[in-house]
Amino acid sequence: MQRPIARLAIGSLRRTSCCSCSRAYTTNAQSPHPALTILPDYLDAIEQDVLLRNSLRLLDSPARTNSAGRKRRRDWIKQNPHWDGRRGFMADEAYAWEEGHFDGVIKRYREMLVREGMWASAPPLPDAEQLEAALAKIYSLLPPPATAPPEIPPRSPPSHLILHLLHLASDGAIYPHVDNLEAFGRTIVGVSLGGERVMRFKRSSESAQETGDPGPTEFEVLLEPGSAYIQREPLRTFYTHEVLGMTTWRGRSVGGSQRLSIMLRDRLDRDADA
């Protein structure tokens, strides 16, 4: 199966010129770099819950699981009859994880591209209105295109952005990489659900003069559930980012539990013209 995202591992970075897009966001005081906005508590508990539940519904749908994966899940549910299927993750052993991404960047994960119409379901969802409101809230993190967007079914990702779900196992991690410059635009938004993780950014060496970057060469941020982050230039192109496994954050241990991120990326301008 073709993997939906291409990430370039640190050894294979190709440079393209830095685009000059600038988005109007308030830079949060917690962010160590002016091109990274962190919005702690962007989603309340109800919004997190509806997004997590529906993201897992899509990842577990028959269209994207095989029969062995479905059996594993059924067996786990049988052995755990008290599990409340309406919320949260099952244990790691209930899921069929991909062991390694084709480009070697991610370990122990499940991932999917969410296309138009996919959030809908038959029969209609009991929480359809809540889901629609929570999705509208996260879609608004990427500014709309200058021209009027075409009509799309309710809840679908607007046509100017690309939406992926990424579910990491408790021992999953994402190694240093730059998201494919040829496949996506220049703004990356991540919405964090589930377990906390630390994200590390590192400026890649040859970029320093190109960008005149005022930020630190390396820094870490805490990705708390319900938070969102927005990466713009020069971070998006000239820094690698990674999501650590177990690590220490301000003297306490962080990581070691499942996390699901909703990733939103803008399309390249050339896609809009296509």
Ligand X SMILES: O=C(O)CCC(=O)C(=O)O
- Contacts with ligand X by CB under 6 A lie at 5, 7, 166, 174, 179, 190, 241, 243, 261, 263
Closest CB to ligand X among residues 25, 76: 25
Q: How many residues bind Fe ion (CB under 5 A)?
A: 1
Interactions with Fe ion, residue window 172-231 (CB under 5 A) = 179
Shortest CB 187 distance to ligand X, Å: 13
CB 36 within 8 A of CB 201: yes
The total number of residues shown for the chain amounts to 274
- Residue 274: how many CB atoms within 10 A of its CB? 6
How far is the C-alpha of 239 from the C-alpha of 217, rounded, in Å? 8
Amino acid making up residue 58 = L
Shortest CB 80 distance to ligand X, Å: 27
Residue 261's binding partner among Fe ion, ligand X, none (Cβ under 5 to 8 angstroms by kind) is: ligand X
Closest CB to Fe ion among residues 131, 264: 264
Give me the phi and psi of 227, to 5 degrees please. Answer: -95, 165
Q: What is the largest CA-CA distance in the chain?
A: 59
Closest CB to Fe ion among residues 125, 174: 174
Residue 49's binding partner among ligand X, Fe ion, none (Cβ under 5 to 8 angstroms by kind) is: none
User: Within the chain, how many helices (H) and strands (E) appear?
Assistant: 6, 13
Shortest CB 151 distance to ligand X, Å: 29
Closest CB to ligand X among residues 125, 142: 142
Q: Does 111 bind Fe ion (CB under 5 A)?
A: no
How far is the C-alpha of 244 from the C-alpha of 258, rounded, in Å? 12
